[in-house]
Amino acid sequence: MNIKTIPTTPFTDQKPGTSGLRKKVTVFQTSHYLENFVQSIFDSLEGFQGQTLVVGGDGRYYNRQAIQIILKMAAANGFGRVLVGASGILSTPAASCVIRKYKAFGGIILSASHNPGGIDGDFGIKYNTGNGGPAPEKVTDAIYDRTKTISQYKILEASDIDLDRQGDFQLGSMVVKVIDAVADYAELMESLFDFDRIQLLLTKLPFRLCVDSMHAVTGPYAHALIEGRLGAKAGSVINGIPLEDFGGGHPDPNLVYAHELVEILFGENAPDFGAASDGDGDRNMILGRKFFVTPSDSLAILAANAHLVPAYKSGLAGIARSMPTSQAADRVAARLGIEAYETPTGWKFFGNLLDAGKATLCGEESFGTGSNHVREKDGLWAVLFWLNVLAARQQSVEQIVTEHWQMYGRNFYSRHDYEGVNADRANTLVDQLRAKGSSLKGKQFGQYEVLFSDDFSYTDPVDGSTSSKQGIRIGFTDGSRIVFRLSGTGTEGATLRLYVESYEPNVAKHNQDPQVALASLISVAEEVAQIREFTGRDRPTVIT
């Protein structure tokens, strides 16, 4: 076995964001760049000698090449076995499923999630721990610290593994097992949901659905489950072949980038149900016929209807949501008599709650929903959950949502993204908001009086760890609120996110367009933060 030790020098830009390290493909192709980060992961871990590692990715450009490097480095560093998805494919939730099922030491997932792919696109890498979830901050901090001092990495000199052929391969003293990327995940889904009932729905006229995989990783999973096991008509899954550049599209399941699906669901003779997934399969967008379900409402509605799904019929331990996500789920938790948790953005913050049995369902406004079945958000799981609810209730998506509003009231909610903003100016905007702090309390902005203003800080109820500076919150006396956050998922400039929320109990007002219902509050947000002055933009890039 020829293990080579390669001298290297640190890179200064390898600090992981909310979900790993994301850069342009060309950056990862820089000599030693990927190797430095992978070695830093291994150097930060203890006790993995002879253990199992899971590796897979979303199929974007550079996925295959990166996997070959990681396999050879895992062998050189002493792992005993690696499970890798066939063709290098594993959706992020499927990777979590495999880590948990086979009790792996951890996993390396290659994805830049919903960011564009291709030779000029983005690439990403993150480490997941043995619970199947994203590494907590103490682990990512250790990885980052190591990237700043690394001086060498180890790699096995060997031929590439055939990723397109399932079976066992020897790589030095390590075994590489190329596994079916779909089978374990499909088995898990069938254990959670009433597949027979869903199958009746999907094979009974006139129900029709359209699931858009956006030429990303969920294509094989959706084909196998929705058109295969559940019997939906061929063609129900569109854009189902994963492509290295996602077909030139932007694999972000929202009203702007999933425009093909939106046009179908809002067009003539629209299907009854529509859904889209993102690049690595952990996000989802849910649509009814000419009807959009916000991710915040989706979490609340799934929680309120969880008793209809076999895996959750005995009740929920709690519901967790990220701080910017609307408070709609909190109202469901209150009625169910269970705890509602508010965490920073980033799925890793849900991990302790799930592991401790404090929460069962989790969600983020950024089109991510999941449960304790894995330790990642899970786009296809959310689609199957909705289909199970539709099959049980025999109502349309719109009927289910509007009845939910009638019972709980409607949390009007919207997110405005300002993408690719000059990073210095975006940071200055946040700094000046932070400086205003509690001085905003009691100030009047039109009809809104400020009740509080803070920079969200979170203390984990399980391990006591704290996370500060997680987003500027401004709350008003009527329960409305605005939140400002800089996203950690982009690779160019900065993305400023503005979240606006207002609660409306009056059923007669529930049919308003959210942008109309929130117009005055959006104006307050723009005034308080001086968004136009700092960003140079007169409108957001994306509104959801």
Tokens of 195: 């597949």
CA distance 77 to 4: 11
Cα–Cα–Cα angle for 529, 539, 426, rounded to 5 degrees: 40
CA distance 175 to 162: 13
Catalytically active residues are 113
Closest of 16, 210, 198 to residue 108, by C-alpha: 16
Tokens of 82: 């690696």
Closest of 276, 259, 271 to residue 379, by C-alpha: 276
Are residues 100 and 374 in contact, defined by beta-carbon separation less than 8 angstroms? yes
CA distance 454 to 350: 22
What radius of gyration, in Å, describes the C-alpha atoms of the chain?
A: 23
CA distance 535 to 422: 7
Are residues 420 and 536 in contact, defined by beta-carbon separation less than 8 angstroms? no
Q: Which residue shows structure tokens 């169910």? A: 336
CA distance 169 to 17: 34
CA dihedral 90, 45, 320, 397 (to 10 degrees): 0
Closest of 476, 480, 430, 479 to residue 455, by C-alpha: 430
Residue 141: exposure state from Cβ atoms within 10 A (0-12, 13-18, ≥19): middle
Tokens of 527: 């005034």
CA distance 537 to 240: 36
Closest of 95, 91, 96, 114 to residue 22, by C-alpha: 114
**Pairing, β 444-445 against β 448-455:** antiparallel
Per-residue b/e over 167-190, b at no fewer than 16 CB within 10 Å? Answer: eebebbebbbebbebbebbbebbe
Task: Look up residue 252 and give its DSSP letter.
Answer: -
Are residues 429 and 472 in contact, defined by beta-carbon separation less than 8 angstroms? no
Cα–Cα–Cα angle for 189, 194, 200, rounded to 5 degrees: 120
